[in-house]
Structure 1
């Protein structure tokens, strides 16, 4: 098989990380594995294995014919059979299909919030889907949405997976006291619901002032970010909540954390959660997307409603107070991730499915 992953950028994010993961693991399993970034590069470029055939298109606008024909030349040169398009890169894949009809398009939807949308909000996607050969989704609600709303029948649910890296640079060193750090690995944008985290931080500061929160993820410096920083300042949390922006050394950062959290109001299956588990960290997370399939409350982590401020606070405090529970949750989550979200299990199902398309 000859497969290329297409993604709009290589900035750190869940969909971007999965595009790199697929390209890397496939490079060891199939004849040719490639990765194409269409609009911009980013920190994840350094994580692409040398065996992966990489191309940057530098697409300037939505319908950039130069980029489309450069992509066609790349596919012809390496005899690509399948385009695996992540997120909004389905559109350039559709344009490629128009000028290179023999290519097969697999679209990979990572957007958990899409399951709440109507067809009229996705007219372009619906039209392009007539040119897809298959769709991969990261949660079961998206699977139902594609089947019922898009009326597309060749849909495969595949959980995200994560890869262990022992060669990552150690660049970022978290502030605060060792053994008393709470990490949230999520871009600063609405669905990630940092307001719930800040409400918990305000209460925790009063009772456990030595414990600190660390927010790592892309900062767009927009209204969401502005309000977040204003809340931190207004509640005197400047030495309790630290914002680091986008960082490349996520594994190193996670290792420095004592407790890890996710407070999203919508998700598919967050890669950050899998990375927490891979590093044996205890977690407090919200009950959205596929998270409840990974976290079983009280067994391998705490899971709370995304609007329940009090339960989030109590769950974090329970981990602050009990080091044995932190160890138990970390070990159990690691076992869950290794069993259900390993690259081997996902890759086997993926390749078998492609053979039948």
Structure 2
């Protein structure tokens, strides 16, 4: 008689075209392919594209009251809704992602005391915030940490920040890189629209930025910083792939500077790998992040990278070897770093080769899936428990898949 299949519930605030969302998508699909019973509970913001990309075996349920902004009324309803869903599903693992779902989802897990709770640390909400907001956010994280058996951090920097602020301990933090199809970025051909733009500009050097157009990504500051540089370097072009609430304002800034021919907002792109293949320099100016997937993709594409300092960034960008890492508030230094690369093709080529030679295999989606599975297995081993009706957590995802196929 076959044993019951372990149940895993993932909870995320938004299921849109963002890094944490893609990470969750790939994790759900990997686990569904391995034969687990997988559930995804997502909030009121989602895209049809992301839902369509889910493995059909993943049970996806919208929780409309799960919203990104603070809303005591909605948050209470979301708490009750998640608790009811947990009691109905009776999961072995609850794996939360992002800040709001992380807090509400872990608190709701009190309704199912048998479940092991894992929180994915993609970003920490209390970093780079005013004192009062930081204090409140940190307090909420500490409360949620009381109902957390394991933390999965996207970078060493995220882990270290958690530990420095009293969230968890060295034994229940696990660094698992945010996975992707690494070969897709290594072998891509340049996007046709950017190739055409390059053809129209003699000696063009294309600067690329891939990020959701939201305030914390600081596209405004990047544009303001690059205006003098674009004036000095007529061959420099800037393309920004992404969409979001900042787009109208950014387009207005571009139009007022009469730079529409040289600065393009590309909108959301399914072919990010081709966008990057068409770029000569890649940049990232966010102030508050984990380790952005875009930066890893820049490295996979073999590009020189200019970034603001973020936790764990040194795993991908080695200052002076394949790019420049600049202090978060030093936009003058950021512009100077870009200008060095604009003026020196040999330096660009050297940095490009260094990026291409880097070992970024830990970011392979398959590696991520297996490492998350190992965390689950170790968690059950350490707790001395097991999934409901099972002798132990399955040894490997592949073994679980094989066992299910034989039933």
Q: TM-score, normalised by structure 2?
A: 0.73
Structure 1 residues 160, 188: CA separation in 2 closer, same or farther (over 3 Å shift)?
same
Structure 1 residues 187, 206: CA separation in 2 closer, same or farther (over 3 Å shift)?
same
1:297, distance to aligned residue in structure 2 (A): 1.9
Question: Secondary structure of the equivalent of 1:257?
Answer: coil
Partner of 1:86: 97
Unaligned runs of 5+ residues in structure 1 are none
Correspondence 1:109 to 2:121: yes
Correspondence 1:138 to 2:154: yes
Correspondence 1:206 to 2:231: yes
Question: Secondary structure of the equivalent of 1:243?
Answer: strand
1:345, distance to aligned residue in structure 2 (A): 4.6
Question: Secondary structure of the equivalent of 1:356?
Answer: helix
Partner of 1:185: 210
Partner of 2:197: 176
CA distance in 1, matches of 2:154, 2:375: 15
Unaligned runs of 5+ residues in structure 2 are 1-5, 66-73, 380-407
CA distance in 2, matches of 1:238, 1:304: 27
Residue pair 1:199, 1:309 contacting (<8 A) in 2 also: no
Residue pair 1:38, 1:57 contacting (<8 A) in 2 also: yes
1:92, distance to aligned residue in structure 2 (A): 4.2
Partner of 1:147: 163
1:94, distance to aligned residue in structure 2 (A): 3.0
State the aligned residue count.
348
1:160, distance to aligned residue in structure 2 (A): 2.4
Partner of 1:53: 58
1:86, distance to aligned residue in structure 2 (A): 0.4
Residue pair 1:205, 1:211 contacting (<8 A) in 2 also: yes
Partner of 2:174: 156
Structure 1 residues 137, 308: CA separation in 2 closer, same or farther (over 3 Å shift)?
same
Residue pair 1:119, 1:149 contacting (<8 A) in 2 also: no
1:185, distance to aligned residue in structure 2 (A): 0.9
Choose from 208, 217, 221 the match for 2:242: 217
Question: Secondary structure of the equivalent of 1:202?
Answer: helix
Partner of 1:197: 222
Choose from 266, 285, 298 the match for 2:320: 298
Choose from 84, 96, 114 the match for 1:69: 84
Question: Secondary structure of the equivalent of 2:358?
Answer: helix
Residue pair 2:14, 2:43 contacting (<8 A) in 1 also: yes
Residue pair 2:309, 2:326 contacting (<8 A) in 1 also: yes
1:294, distance to aligned residue in structure 2 (A): 1.5
Choose from 222, 238, 255 the match for 2:260: 238
CA distance in 1, matches of 2:154, 2:87: 28
CA distance in 2, matches of 1:326, 1:25: 37
CA distance in 1, matches of 2:183, 2:357: 18
What is the root-mean-square deviation in Å for CA atoms of aligned residues? 3.3
Residue pair 2:213, 2:219 contacting (<8 A) in 1 also: yes
Question: Secondary structure of the equivalent of 1:244?
Answer: strand
Q: Residues 151-173 of structure 1, C-alpha deviation per residue, up to 9 Å, x if partnerless?
A: 522222333232247599x9994
Partner of 1:127: 143
Partner of 2:311: 289
Choose from 6, 10, 20 the match for 2:11: 6
Residue pair 2:87, 2:112 contacting (<8 A) in 1 also: yes
Structure 1 residues 69, 288: CA separation in 2 closer, same or farther (over 3 Å shift)?
same
Correspondence 1:313 to 2:335: yes
CA distance in 2, matches of 1:343, 1:334: 19
1:337, distance to aligned residue in structure 2 (A): 4.9
Residue pair 1:196, 1:307 contacting (<8 A) in 2 also: no
